[in-house]
Structure 1
């Protein structure tokens, strides 16, 4: 409890504005700095800068409190390919401002990072948080989709109807709530036909995630490798009602009950706006 108290106090003092109506948002990131591909290849990755920091900056600017967690409490990794003005509308100054805030938070500093483990979050109590946000980058495909600790957190938020926002590859984390998430992911990777139990908590939800088409367009980024499966196909197999923009890389935000999902990096500001609207 002491560690959480210090972290919460530091964030509140340094980065909030004393809003009496402030909410407390938990941002969940991956521990992984890579994604395992087909044929034993790997791809160095992490979180996308804009997908994390545009919503985080918007939350802090609005006076809300933000805490960070990964399954194991490790400092998350930044996907260096996302440090590019194109993800900030071509605005190099905006890129620098968001990167400066990331540096101020020290999230990626192994010995300074304020990141909690999801076990610690459970000890603190899920009721301490008003919303959860999961950004993308490829890393969630490595661990968040099958994290039992994340599955317990999301199941609790679902049961209480608490706002759950995810963007780009982040929505793959919804699979962590499956009874056998690891087995589901392994079957997908092996190319076997799978389906989630009829009682899966997100079955029938309208959801978006980076599309199969966008994954194919971005495939050269993998350096000759190939993903074991795409998140759109995985979530559709689990039973969501997938929604996508006709034009790749254009913003798309879908809300259904407690869920807010964004399709791609360009959707992060829209997810942030909807999250802020819910918190008001």
Structure 2
């Protein structure tokens, strides 16, 4: 996800620096090199929360990814987001669930990855022979038996907007799992899978339900002509289908639970969406220490909720929060003309 933001940032960086009157000179004193990226050779054994993983005796969860590799016309990449699969995959595994992977077409689905976004769990997934085997031989959704799964989780990615909503096999999967008492989860663009689902009683699954999903503001910030490129904007279509859309701040964790339907707004909602699904299944999630990226999101959430004083307090309690993510939000604020926010947020990165 950050690669989309980064492209816009690179295009507008000079303007941003002028707008904030040189405030980002502090970037050079941030010592970003003191925050090395996650090791590419990370394995499951390096994931602390997986050391307390429960045996896979609670059932199975199906993770569904898109098969659409490009936007119509073929000039822009689509696919699914690795981070939104890998992190949820290990949350489910840690909490006693086996995980299968499916896609509309089956086989090896188109993956989107950004090394700057990746944490240990993402690299561990790529180095996990069993996980990669499941991914490259993903099950065709039409061949899946919904009765085998306690929950289904729809991974985000731009491609979902094209092949999830009108797939009758996905609609059947959601309907059958939900009506059997299972949990439905989705993150970022993943809720596109729920748009056309109607239950056996004729009631649309989304009608009157509180949900999250990638917001119009987030989409249009990244892709100015998103209304032309996509058949719809997800937030708009969720509302059109009768959902009560719950919008959080841009690019911060926002997970919404409505009964047995759990939805997250963006990639930074992946951890909380997966853990909320575990709770909806009736279990307390295995303890997991938040990573640097999550700690940065917590600082930013404190800023949006309580202002700079609350953010500084949160920052002091999280000295290892990801400075790059804090700075990214400062740049986003600058690009949106929110000069005060840009200045204060880059200060948090410097603290």
TM-score between the two structures when normalised by the length of structure 1: 0.74
Residue-pair matches, total? 230
**Counterpart residue number, 1:133:** 153
Q: 2: CA distance between counterparts of 1:51 and 1:265? A: 6
User: Within 5 Å, which residues of 2 pair with 1:52-71?
Assistant: 52-71=85-104
Closer/same/farther in 2, CA of residues 64 and 214 from structure 1, 3 Å limit = same
**Counterpart residue number, 1:165:** 185
Q: 2: CA distance between counterparts of 1:165 and 1:249? A: 19
**Counterpart residue number, 1:155:** 175
User: Within 5 Å, which residues of 2 pair with 1:251-262?
Assistant: 251-262=253-264
Ranges in structure 2 where 5+ consecutive residues have no aligned partner: 1-49, 284-351
Confirm or deny that 1:265 pairs with 2:267.
yes
Provide the aligned C-alpha RMSD in A. 2.8
Q: 2: CA distance between counterparts of 1:102 and 1:251? A: 30
- What do residues 126-181 of structure 1 show as CA deviations (whole Å, max 9, x unaligned)? 221110000101111110111011111111123223100000000011024259xx
The answer to whether the 8 Å contact 1:75/1:107 transfers is no
User: Within 5 Å, which residues of 2 pair with 1:1-280?
Assistant: 19=55, 21-36=57-72, 40=73, 42-79=75-112, 82-86=113-117, 88=118, 91=119, 93-101=120-128, 104-107=131-134, 109=136, 113=137, 115-121=138-144, 125-177=145-197, 199-219=203-223, 226-245=229-248, 247-279=249-281, 280=283
Secondary structure of the residue that 1:44 maps to in structure 2? coil
Closer/same/farther in 2, CA of residues 94 and 118 from structure 1, 3 Å limit = closer
Secondary structure of the residue that 1:25 maps to in structure 2? strand
Ranges in structure 1 where 5+ consecutive residues have no aligned partner: 1-14, 180-197
Q: 2: CA distance between counterparts of 1:137 and 1:94? A: 18
Tell me by how many angstroms 1:254 deviates. Answer: 0.2
Q: 1: CA distance between counterparts of 2:95 and 2:225? A: 35
- Structure with the greater alpha carbon radius of gyration: 2
TM-score between the two structures when normalised by the length of structure 2: 0.60
State the structure with bigger RCO (CA 8 A, min sep 6), 1 or 2: 1
